[in-house]
Amino acid sequence: MKKFYITTPVYYVNDVPHIGHTYTTVAADVLARWHRELGDETFFLTGTDEHGAKIETKAGEMKIDPKAYADGISAKFLEAWQKLNISNDNFIRTTDEQHVKAVQTALQFMHDKGDIYLGKYEGLYCRGCEQYKSDRDLVDGLCPDHKVAPEKMSEECYSFRLSKYQDQLLELIKKDKLKILPANRKNEVVSFIEKEGLEDVSFSRKNIKWGIPIPWDKSHTVYVWADAFLNYLTGLGWDPSAGSPRPELGTKAGQAALKFWPPTVQLMSKDILRVHATIWQAMLLSLGLPTSETIFVHGYFQINGQKMGKSLGNVIAPDDLIKKYGVDASRYLIMSAAVFGHDGDISFEKFDEKYNADLANGLGNLTARVSNLIEKNNLEFNLKAGSDEKLVENFSKSMQAFQFDEALKILWLVLRAGDEVLSDKKPWKLEDKKAIEKILKPIAQNILDVAVLLKPFMPEVSEKIVAQFSAKQIKKGESLFPRI
């Protein structure tokens, strides 16, 4: 049996879930569900990133204890994903006790090995990114992502020998042993490493209290990214009682937890690609673990041409979508909003239009008309799904290539063809039952085939249509998508 391990980033709890987080999470869910359908042994991990300067500041502003603050926001992420029918196998929090212990064990291992050493960091730090910055990273002296001047920092720290792994990383990436997709993203990373080179990176903070204590020097806390990356291991249940971060050296329990290792696909957007392709993979090399198989980078959503942000008041929350369109329609609208891997511009106007065109008038109307005509004419079909091998093949190709919007388009072409046949042949005007059957049966078969393939995207709607159209006597069902 093939295994499929997929991850989303662990999201910062400085903010409640919005449509950007939702995009990554729904895409990961679609992939996880699709691989389960294919029969792959699948593990899907998501969660929250709760330590570090940014969260410490935010909780400080709100005058609450950082853990109590993180509990509240983390619960909102969990709730949002449950509402959206996200099928994650675990929800990891970086404040989980098991995670904290495992991070300490992993860092101790890297320290003992000589990959972490006492040094000093003098330079810039962007709290928004939680990243050390060089002048080259700034635009007009500001962090281009957060539009603030980074803080000047000078403190003793424990540094990770990232430079030691530079050549090995380049080789892995160039030879696609670590696939970075789409291809332009791979080129970006390769040219960054070749041009700028990898410098050692500070892995501890002396002035940040809200973090995991460095096990051999409790006056430091672990750099939040080093802590966060390890979620991909601890989220599988890797626990320090395994004795070592290396599965072959650990206990049976440790090995069992790592049976899914390494990640088949790590989904994220471009903002955090560089750190995932460098620091994270180098940590794995240091730990003696296989590196990730694929990093897939999707685009950024903008709202009406503008960056989404609280100051602009244009943030779309998953709840706003669910309330307006329902769960499955929201999942469809998000996944079809942009070419996966490219930026997309979204708005409620566009969502309304797409909802009416593709769902109310498209899928919803076609299934209603066809099932109604079948019931009225007392036809019996007994359809079995999967008759159209070409369709399955085309759809699967797009899914395999992470072209989710394309996969959906392929299905909608079939639905549109059904619509055209109906308008053309007007079976409701005919009397002859055989003639009516000849028109309706292939359309009903197409609807069933499409509904089966739709399952990863719209699990509940798919199940309803499949049940309806594989029944001996197809009956008109409830309206699936009321017009907006």
Out of 31, 198, 226, 228, the residue judged to bind ligand MSP by CB under 6 A: 228
Q: Nearest 5°: CA angle at 50, between 49 and 53?
A: 110
Stretch that binds ligand MSP, among 190-198, 228-236, 328-336, 356-364 (CB under 6 A): 228-236
Residue with tokens 């400085």: 14
Those residues with Cβ within 8 angstroms of residue 144's Cβ, 6 or more apart along the chain or in another chain: 137, 138
Kindly state whether residue 301 participates in binding ligand MSP, applying the rule CB under 6 A: yes
Out of 4, 5, 12, 81, the residue judged to bind ligand MSP by CB under 6 A: 12
3-state SS of 443-471 is: HHHHHHHHHHHCCCCCHHHHHHHHHHHHC
Kindly state whether residue 9 participates in binding ligand MSP, applying the rule CB under 6 A: yes
Kindly state whether residue 24 participates in binding ligand MSP, applying the rule CB under 6 A: yes
Helix ranges (H only) for 84-117 are: 97-112
Q: Tell me whether residue 228 or residue 333 sits nearer to ligand MSP (CB atom).
A: 228
Kindly state whether residue 269 participates in binding ligand MSP, applying the rule CB under 6 A: yes
Kindly state whether residue 300 participates in binding ligand MSP, applying the rule CB under 6 A: yes
- The residues carrying an active-site annotation are 18, 21, 126, 129, 143, 146, 307, 310
Alpha carbon distances (Å) from 241 to 229, 244, 254, 397:
20, 8, 7, 42
User: x/- string (CB under 6 A) for ligand MSP, residues 43-62?
Assistant: ------x-------------
Question: Residue-wise over 178-189: b if at least 16 C-beta within 10 A, else e?
Answer: bbbbbeebbebb
Contact (CB, 8 A) for 412 and 358: yes
Helices (H) and strands (E) in the chain, counts: 19, 15
Alpha carbon distances (Å) from 395 to 95, 403, 415:
40, 9, 14
Q: Tell me whether residue 321 or residue 439 sits nearer to ligand MSP (CB atom).
A: 321
Tell me which residue has its CB nearest to ligand MSP.
Answer: 20
Q: Tell me whether residue 39 or residue 313 sits nearer to ligand MSP (CB atom).
A: 313
Least distance CB 22 / ligand MSP (angstroms): 8
Contact (CB, 8 A) for 237 and 221: no
Stretch that binds ligand MSP, among 6-14, 152-160, 166-174, 353-361 (CB under 6 A): 6-14
Residues near ligand MSP (CB under 6 A): 9-12, 20-21, 23-24, 49, 228-229, 231, 268-269, 271-272, 300-301, 308
